[in-house]
């Protein structure tokens, strides 16, 4: 079934989506998405939760393509958290297989769209075969010049910060850096997202209003946008709404309202 989903013919989104309402010169550089509500979407239709995950993978495909066409620089999508291992084995295995299939089926299209795929999270805990696919996907898309697609898999914000603290402590211990020069920048450099701008907007579909351990450090000044729409029902038009809304926000970063 997912092979069928992944192999669907592509439509040219540029021709079907009205992008007139957004300002192409003020696009968010980095969009982060908590892809939530798959299970509830399936339940509403009397289907097993796995169907929601399959449909969610299709939404990701659409949104990656749209972000890449809109000139967004980075899309970080939360696919599996460090807490999601608490789910039944069947569901966890299904999600891992879905990721594996995504990597098998999407490389050509990612390359066609100049998308560079990267992974954030504790990938070393995943099955060896999946890790190999991840390395392969990163390698074969590494020279692409367009959107960076960051997939957060076995990702936890607290774990990420904990690991950064461990790495920095090791460097202090062996004299590589002095503890007096540990700055916010040094901490950022030890996160999975090193080198990337912080997200400008966080989108969470599914109707819950929380962060769920996602990008705790990086979201410090991110604009938040929530919707009750479940991820499998999230369409290009919802992304456009979120971007349009983001463009009306007054980002002050603790300063004063910008007056002309």
Q: Which residues bind ligand IPE (CB under 6 A)?
A: 34-40, 78-81, 84, 95, 206, 208, 210, 212
Shortest distance in whole angstroms from residue 52 CB to ligand IPE? 6
Residue with smaller CB distance to Mg ion, 89 or 128? 89
d(CA 124, CA 122): 5
**Largest pairwise CA distance in the chain:** 59
- CB under 5 to 8 A by kind: which of Mg ion, ligand IPE, none does 81 bind? ligand IPE
Residues lying near Mg ion in the complex (CB under 5 A): 36
Q: Which of 18, 84, 101, 200 is flagged as catalytic?
A: 84
Give the one entry of ligand IPE, Mg ion, none that residue 102 binds, where binding means its C-beta sits below a cut-off of 5 to 8 angstroms depending on kind.
none
Tell me, yes or no, if 36 is annotated catalytic. Answer: yes
Q: How far apart are CA 42 and CA 50, in angstroms?
A: 8
Burial zone of 258 (CB within 10 Å; 0-12 exposed, 13-18 middle, 19+ buried): exposed
Q: Which of 20, 23, 36, 208 is catalytic?
A: 36
Q: Which residue is nearest to ligand IPE (CB)?
A: 39
Encoding tokens for residue 98?
């879905």
The candidate with the shortest Cα–Cα distance to 185, out of 198, 173, 175, is: 198
Residue 36 vs 200, nearer CB to Mg ion: 36
Instruction: Give the DSSP letter of residue 83.
Output: T
**Which residues face 150 on adjacent strands?**
76, 118
117 binds, among Mg ion, ligand IPE, none (CB under 5 to 8 A by kind): none
How many whole angstroms separate alpha carbon 19 and alpha carbon 16? 9
Residue number with CB closer to ligand IPE (208 or 233): 208
Partner in contact with 113, chosen from ligand IPE, Mg ion, none, beta carbon below 5 to 8 Å by kind? none
CB-nearer residue toward ligand IPE: 22 or 35: 35
Look up residue 80 and give its two tokens: 């599996």
Catalytic residues: 36, 84
């Amino acid at each position: 079934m997912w092979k069928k989903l992944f192999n669907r013919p592509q439509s040219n989104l540029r021709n079907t989506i009205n992008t007139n309402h957004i300002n192409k010169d003020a696009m968010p550089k980095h969009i982060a998405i908590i892809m939530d509500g798959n299970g509830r979407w399936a339940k509403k239709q009397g289907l097993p939760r796995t169907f929601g995950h399959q449909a969610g993978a299709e939404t990701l495909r659409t949104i990656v393509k749209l972000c890449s066409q809109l000139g967004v620089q980075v899309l970080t999508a939360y696919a599996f958290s460090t807490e999601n291992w608490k789910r039944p084995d069947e569901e966890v295995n299904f999600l891992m297989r879905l990721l594996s299939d995504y990597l098998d089926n999407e490389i050509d299209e990612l390359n066609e769209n100049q998308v560079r795929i990267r992974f954030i999270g504790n990938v070393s805990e995943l099955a060896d075969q999946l890790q190999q696919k991840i390395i392969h996907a990163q390698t074969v898309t590494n020279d692409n010049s367009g959107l960076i697609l960051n997939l957060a898999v076995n990702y936890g914000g607290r774990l990420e910060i904990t690991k950064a603290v461990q790495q920095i402590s090791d460097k202090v211990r062996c004299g590589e850096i002095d503890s007096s020069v540990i700055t916010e920048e040094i901490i950022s450099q030890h996160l999975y997202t090193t080198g990337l701008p912080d997200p400008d907007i966080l989108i969470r579909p599914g109707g819950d209003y929380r962060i769920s351990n996602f990008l705790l450090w990086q979201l410090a000044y991110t604009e938040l946008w929530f919707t009750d729409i479940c991820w499998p029902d999230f369409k290009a038009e919802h992304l456009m709404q979120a971007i349009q809304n983001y463009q009306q926000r007054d980002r002050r970063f603790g300063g004063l309202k910008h007056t002309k």
